[in-house]
């Protein structure tokens, strides 16, 4: 029996008919998955497999490959015929819709369906997802008495061995599924008709491109948007951006300020672009620089946040620092020194990192970071986990200062920043000769997913070389801050 829709393509079609059409007819246009997104998929698979231990002893209907889903349908029928009571990846087809359920269980009450999610709550999209499963399964002759979503309990704290019964929350969604169920036949018919079309539906870009999921055909649908457009206006809400776009306004120079209310910072961005000049508030920058105390430290953390807590005292998705870079100027004009730490993926990195960080940061002088809320939060978490080290860690927290402030407040702004005050935008704008582009690892998401794969044992590559790449990336983050401070000091002189 053939199928035209699956659970995932049904949900895709509900988000955008054009995305569904492109997926079915022009799959080759799909944007490649980033390492960060691939890590999310891998984590979802890991969590899905772990959830099977909530119902041990089942039989597995998983196909030999993702492209042979009908194998699972055949296996599921065989398992049902043999009166199996727990089936993993039970797969059904009805009305040309194919769904694979994570766990199907028969107990004294009857059949129950369990769908596993790696998130920490039940979203409206998950209800629609569960509804298409329920529709397909009950019409395949399985009299479901309930359907559940199994998701992560983010209040669970790992103490001893991982307790799956505490890790997962199991919530019945049958009532909400039944509310949505009457809409399913019409939606299925509508989406099957979309697939039959001779060409892609004429659907323009809009907020649906990112809701509920980031669409993986943006490379196709957004290719008419200039590299620098109204979508890059700093802190402008999405609705206003699309209002401008729908009026035919694509670039900043097309904006009529009498027709839209913008903040002073947004107006500054527009004027900077129009005039091709930088804005520098020497008084504010001078005040920021004069408030810095030597020795001056430049600190950056890299973290992972695994869905399954890896170490004692951690919750799901809690951040773990696995690496830091620290540049140090003992006094103004002194020779720059560098310290760094990269954890061993085979053991809990926290205590060793804490001890070295405390030693490396000394006991006086300001510690510059970029986006202080992140580093501050990570240090507070370490205090919570290792209260014995509270005093020196609290001392580090009190010495933190945020280098992002001059750029966030647009005390220094150039057209090259394109509305962004992230260090990845500020660095090439101020110091063009320095770039992340030449690095093998050049963003935090890739650094995080790479180290996470080392912990999981799924890393494929040269670990020694990759560790060097991780160190080079983190080192550039703090060296960038050093060079930015040097640049700001030169401005102050004039």
Tens of pLDDT along 55-113? 999 999 999 988 889 999 999 999 999 999 999 999 999 999 999 999 999 999 999 99
Total-model pTM = 0.93
Reply yes or no on whether the pLDDT at 492 is more than 90.
Answer: no
Q: Which residues are CB-contacts of 320 (< 8 A; sequence separation ≥ 6)?
A: 303, 304, 305, 306, 310, 311, 314, 349, 350
Mean pLDDT, residues 482-490 taken together = 95
Cα(166)–Cα(153) distance, integer angstroms: 7
| CB-based contact 492:285 (threshold 8 Å) | yes
Reply yes or no on whether the pLDDT at 463 is more than 80.
Answer: yes
Please tell me the predicted confidence (pLDDT) of residue 406: 97
Tens of pLDDT along 217-246? 999 999 999 999 999 999 999 999 999 999
**Structure tokens given for 71:** 């194998």
Mean pLDDT, residues 127-145 taken together = 98
Cα(421)–Cα(234) distance, integer angstroms: 9
Mean pLDDT, residues 459-467 taken together = 95
Please tell me the predicted confidence (pLDDT) of residue 278: 95
Question: What percentage of residues in the chain have a pLDDT greater than 90?
Answer: 93
Mean pLDDT, residues 174-200 taken together = 98
Please tell me the predicted confidence (pLDDT) of residue 494: 53
Reply yes or no on whether the pLDDT at 402 is more than 90.
Answer: yes
Average pLDDT, the chain: 96
Please tell me the predicted confidence (pLDDT) of residue 108: 94
Please tell me the predicted confidence (pLDDT) of residue 65: 86
CA 63 to chain centre: 29
Q: Which residues are CB-contacts of 237 (< 8 A; sequence separation ≥ 6)?
A: none
Mean pLDDT, residues 254-281 taken together = 94
Please tell me the predicted confidence (pLDDT) of residue 66: 83
Reply yes or no on whether the pLDDT at 453 is more than 80.
Answer: yes
Tens of pLDDT along 291-333? 999 999 999 999 999 999 999 999 999 999 999 999 999 999 8
Mean pLDDT, residues 36-60 taken together = 94
Reply yes or no on whether the pLDDT at 493 is more than 60.
Answer: no
Please tell me the predicted confidence (pLDDT) of residue 38: 86
Reply yes or no on whether the pLDDT at 1 is more than 70.
Answer: no
Cα(233)–Cα(355) distance, integer angstroms: 42
Mean pLDDT, residues 28-53 taken together = 93
Q: Which residues are CB-contacts of 134 (< 8 A; sequence separation ≥ 6)?
A: 113, 144, 147, 174, 177, 181
Burial of 181 (0-12, 13-18, 19+ CB in 10 A): middle
Please tell me the predicted confidence (pLDDT) of residue 37: 87
| CB-based contact 14:127 (threshold 8 Å) | no
Please tell me the predicted confidence (pLDDT) of residue 35: 84
User: At residue 117, what are phi and psi to the nearest 5 degrees?
Assistant: -125, 150
Mean pLDDT, residues 137-144 taken together = 97
Q: Which residues are CB-contacts of 379 (< 8 A; sequence separation ≥ 6)?
A: 393, 396, 397
Cα(49)–Cα(406) distance, integer angstroms: 47
């Amino acid at each position: 029996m053939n199928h035209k829709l699956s659970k995932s393509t049904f949900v895709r079609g509900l988000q955008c008919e054009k995305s569904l059409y492109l997926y079915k007819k022009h799959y080759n246009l799909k944007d490649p998955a980033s390492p960060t997104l691939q890590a999310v998929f891998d984590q979802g698979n890991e969590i899905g497999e772990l959830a099977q231990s909530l119902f041990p002893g089942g039989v597995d209907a998983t196909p030999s490959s993702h492209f042979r889903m009908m194998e699972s349908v055949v296996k599921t029928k065989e398992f049902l015929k043999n009166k199996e009571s727990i089936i993993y990846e039970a797969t059904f087809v009805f009305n040309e819709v194919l769904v694979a359920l994570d766990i199907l269980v028969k107990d004294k009450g009857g059949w129950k369906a369990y769908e596993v999610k790696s998130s920490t709550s039940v979203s409206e999209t998950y209800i629609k997802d569960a509804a298409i499963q329920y529709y397909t399964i009950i019409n395949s002759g399985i009299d479901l008495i309930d359907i559940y979503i199994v998701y992560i309990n983010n209040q669970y704290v790992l103490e001893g061995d991982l307790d799956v019964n505490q890790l997962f929350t199991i919530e019945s969604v049958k009532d909400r599924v039944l509310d949505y169920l009457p809409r399913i036949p019409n939606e299925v018919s509508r989406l099957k008709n979309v697939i039959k079309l001779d060409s892609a539906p004429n659907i323009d870009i809009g907020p649906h491109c990112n809701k509920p999921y980031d669409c993986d055909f943006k490379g196709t649908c957004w290719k008419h948007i200039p590299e620098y457009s109204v979508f890059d206006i700093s802190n402008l809400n999405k609705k206003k951006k699309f209002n401008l776009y729908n009026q035919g306004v694509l670039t900043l120079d097309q904006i009529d300020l009498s027709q839209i209310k913008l903040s002073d910072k947004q107006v500054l961005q527009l004027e900077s672009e129009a005039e091709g000049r930088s804005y520098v508030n020497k008084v504010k920058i001078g005040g920021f620089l004069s408030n810095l105390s030597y020795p001056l430290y430049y600190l950056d953390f890299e973290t992972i946040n695994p869905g399954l807590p890896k170490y004692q005292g951690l919750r799901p998705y809690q951040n773990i620092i696995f690496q830091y870079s620290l540049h140090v100027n003992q006094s103004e004009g002194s020779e720059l020194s560098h310290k760094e730490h990269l954890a061993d993926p085979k053991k809990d990195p926290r205590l060793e990192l804490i001890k070295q960080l405390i030693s490396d940061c000394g006991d006086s002088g300001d510690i510059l970071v970029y986006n202080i809320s992140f580093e501050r939060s990570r240090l507070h978490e370490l205090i919570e986990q290792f209260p014995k080290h509270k005093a020196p860690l609290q001392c580090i927290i009190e010495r933190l200062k945020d280098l992002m402030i001059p750029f966030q407040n647009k005390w220094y702004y150039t057209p090259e920043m394109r509305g962004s005050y992230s260090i990845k935008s500020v660095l090439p704008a101020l110091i063009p000769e320095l770039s992340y582009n030449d690095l093998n690892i050049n963003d935090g998401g890739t650094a995080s997913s790479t180290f996470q794969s080392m912990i999981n044992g799924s890393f494929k590559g040269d670990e020694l070389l990759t560790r060097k790449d991780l160190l080079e990336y983190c080192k550039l983050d703090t060296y960038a801050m050093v060079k930015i401070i040097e640049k700001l000091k030169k401005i102050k002189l004039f």
